[in-house]
Amino acid sequence: MKVVVDTNIIFSCLLHSNGNIGEILFSSSDILEFFSCDYMRVEIRAHWSKLLKLSKLTDSQLQNAYDKTTSHIKFISEEIIKSSIWLKAEETVADIDEDDISFVALAKYLKGGLWTGDKKLYAGLKSKRFGKVYNTDDMLQLQTRLRRR
């Protein structure tokens, strides 16, 4: 199953790689395919100094954690997504958070789910009956369900 990972999930994984997010990302490649858009890399770099401060890691340690985390994710250029999908994604998130258009568009493009740590985005997409949107608890349940098959 294809799952788009948003920046909040990566941010959380970098801060707590031994938690549930890390467990899902690092041990689910047999049942889940993780994707993200190139924009996520830009967002992480924009918050790098904040990540350094919060994580109390050295720059080198944080880079290693970032490399390990992103090695489980396939990155897709937003440029390959059709404009019709972008317009639908923009319409979907316009009143939620326009910064998340890329992730919603990619999920629509891949016909996959969206894993987000953004409570406002999660609630907004759920209220709009957006296909498959997951928070981390949902992902743990999904992982368990898929492993039973």
pLDDT in tens, 81-92: 999 999 999 999
pLDDT digits (tens, 9 = 90+) for 24-40: 999 998 999 999 999 99
**DSSP assignment string, the chain:** -EEEE-HHHHHHHHH-TTSHHHHHHHH-TTT-EEEEEHHHHHHHHHTHHHHHHHHT--HHHHHHHHHHHHTTEEEE-GGGS-HHHHHHHHHHHTTT-GGGHHHHHHHHHHT-EEE---HHHHHHHHHTT-S-EE-HHHHHHHHHHHHH-
The pLDDT score that the predictor gives to residue 147 is 85
Rg (CA), the chain: 15
Tell me: pLDDT of 17 over 80.
no
Domains and CATH numbers, the chain: 2-148 (3.40.50.1010)
* pLDDT for 98 beyond 90: no
Rounded CA-CA distance 71/96 in Å is 30
120 forms beta bridges with: none
Distance CA 140, CA 106 (A): 22
pTM over 0.85: yes
The pLDDT of residue 131 is 81
